[in-house]
Amino acid sequence: MPPCATVSGNTSTCHRSRALNPSPDPSPRAARLSAPPPAVGLWRLLRPLLFRLDAERAHQLGLLVATLSPPSLVERIGQGGATADVARAPALATRVMGLDFPNPLGVAAGVDKDAQAVTFWQALGFGFVEVGTVTALRQPGNPRPRVFRLPGDGALINRMGFPNAGADVVATRIERLRQEDALQVPLGINIGKSRDAGAADAAADYRRSFERLGELADFVVVNVSSPNTPGLRDLQTVDHLRGLVDAIQTPNQALTRPRPLLVKLAPDLGDADALACARAALEGGCAGLVISNTTVDFSAARMDTTGMSGGLSGAPLLARSNAMLHALRQALGDDPVLIGVGGVMDAASAAAKLAAGADLIQVYTGLVYGGPGLPRALLRGLLAQRAAGR
């Protein structure tokens, strides 16, 4: 069981919703809204128990189980006795950024911030893993509670603020994985600005993280789009991004094998601003973009979000993040790598994101609701759609 346990529609949000909406609506619509998206397999039994816990506690419990689970056993259970593993189906394999991905479905940033359970994710069938966001120094993040479930929407709202163990600890963990040759899928490392670094120090702060982590990654994602670190999203301007990408490219280009860099953008940018930022990143030598982070616009959620703050993820994010992805693909052509993330909950939403122009896709909130069986179930759906020529 994964960090899916992580966040998930839950008690804390339910309490919160009720508190915020003192006269519960008994209509059939309200009943529909309170039903979370379907869980895959055994998750149907486990999810209600985990959803009784605070969302972040449930995630930590899931991560603990993930860390303790022998990957070979997880893989055997996941394959369910099938002779061929769908996660390795040749029809799903893809080569992007000079890297071989056994399939296009990855773990999104935030699920495993400190790279604690990377081999577990690959055993679940994921075709790549993005760890982080990691900052230069360890930091605690925002006060708890800071993750809330919106089960009726298949969504989460979080204001984590990058709690993480810091670049040194994460680097040591990944060094060990590399020494043991334990990684069978590409590993991305997502780096972000330390809370204490002011605007003037931001580029140097990212550079510091890159210098410790860059060489250990197959690709590096520069996160300028989480809504929960003061000033972070202000870096999403052409001038700031140019300076930031240059600051990271200096040590990157000095590596024997410079790593592909991607910039992760917010879905709250207008299309023109997103395009300007994307062009600035690509002109600075980035390989592509990750579209998108969570949104601060809660209007697509149907549950009561009055008084809540942070970033919304999951099903209500799909339309906006796909629209942004599609607009960027149309404007930028085939060359840049676009990783699509936001609202992938099942095979249909995964296919929609690929159709919108993504080379690779990622999932966070879908994993919380769908559970550890989601990756292979989703990949089976994608494979069946491809076989049917859809």
Cβ of residue 155: shortest distance to ligand FMN, in angstroms?
A: 8
DSSP letter at 164 equals B
> Do 97 and 335 contact (CB within 8 A), yes or no?
no
The binding track of 357-386 with respect to ligand FMN, each residue x by CB under 6 A or -, is ------xxxx--------------------
Is 236 an interacting residue with respect to ligand FMN (CB under 6 A)? no
DSSP-derived 3-state class of residue 165: coil
Q: Is the dihedral of CA 65, 68, 73, 75 positive or negative?
A: positive
- The answer to the question of residue 226 lying near ligand FMN (CB under 6 A) is yes
Q: The tokens 């009943």 sit on which residue?
A: 31
Nearest residue by C-beta to ligand FMN? Answer: 110
SS3 at position 228:
coil
CB of 389 to ligand FMN, least distance (A): 27
Closest approach, Cβ 6 to ligand FMN, in A, equals 7
Question: Rounded to an integer, what distance in angstroms lies between the CA atom of residue 309 and that of residue 146?
Answer: 9
From the list 314, 336, 340, 371, which residue makes contact with ligand FMN (rule: CB under 6 A)? 314
- Cα–Cα distances (Å) from 249 to 92, 97, 106, 266, in that order, read 32, 16, 25, 22
> Considering beta carbons, is residue 70 or 230 the nearer one to ligand FMN?
230
Q: Please identify which residue in 103, 158, 252, 349 interacts with ligand FMN, judged by CB under 6 A.
A: 158
Length of the chain: 390
**How is 181-192 classified by DSSP, letter by letter?**
T---S-EEEEE-
Which of 12, 17, 225, 226 is catalytic? The answer is 226
Which of 13, 313, 322, 349 is close enough to bind ligand FMN by CB under 6 A? Answer: 313
- Please indicate whether residue 299 is annotated as part of the active site: no
342 binds ligand FMN (CB under 6 A): yes
Distance between CA atoms of 111 and 126, rounded to whole angstroms?
13
- Please tell me whether residue 179 adopts helix, strand or coil conformation: helix
Picking from 295, 33, 264, 23, the residue whose alpha carbon sits closest to that of residue 156 is 295
Q: Token digits for 210? A: 């890159």
**Residue among 168, 188, 28, 39 nearest 106 (CA):** 188
Closest Cα to residue 332, out of 390, 388, 381, 277?
A: 277
Q: Quick one: 30 or 213, whose CB is closer to ligand FMN?
A: 213
Q: Tell me: does residue 36 bind ligand FMN (CB under 6 A).
A: no
The answer to whether residue 337 forms part of the interface with ligand FMN (CB under 6 A) is no
With contacts defined by CB under 6 A, how many residues of the chain interact with ligand FMN?
A: 29
Interacting span for ligand FMN (CB under 6 A) from 75-83, 158-166, 204-212, 300-308: 158-166
| Residues 68 to 127 in contact with ligand FMN, rule: CB under 6 A | 108-110, 113
Stretch that binds ligand FMN, among 34-42, 98-106, 326-334, 338-346 (CB under 6 A): 338-346
Q: What does the alpha-carbon distance between residue 2 and residue 50 come to, in Å, rounded to a whole number?
A: 11
Q: Does 147 bind ligand FMN (CB under 6 A)?
A: yes
Of 10 and 190, which CB lies nearer to ligand FMN in the complex structure? 190
Which range binds ligand FMN by CB under 6 A, 153-161, 274-282, 301-309, 332-340? Answer: 153-161
Residue 380: both structure tokens together: 């089976």
Site string for ligand FMN, 259-288 (x = CB under 6 A): -----x------------------------
**Choices 8-16, 193-201, 309-317, 326-334 (CB under 6 A): range interacting with ligand FMN:** 309-317
Between CA 319 and CA 298 the distance in angstroms is 13
Cα distance between the two ends of the chain: 32
Contact 127, 188 (CB under 8 A): no
333: tokens are 């052509």
Among 341, 352, 354, 377, binds ligand FMN (CB under 6 A): 341
Minimum CB–partner distance for residue 108 and ligand FMN (Å): 4
For residue 173, give both structure tokens. 């963990």
Residues near ligand FMN (CB under 6 A): 7, 108-110, 113, 132-133, 147, 156, 158, 160, 162, 190, 223, 226, 264, 293-294, 313-314, 317, 341-344, 363-366
Question: Which active-site residues does the annotation give?
Answer: 226
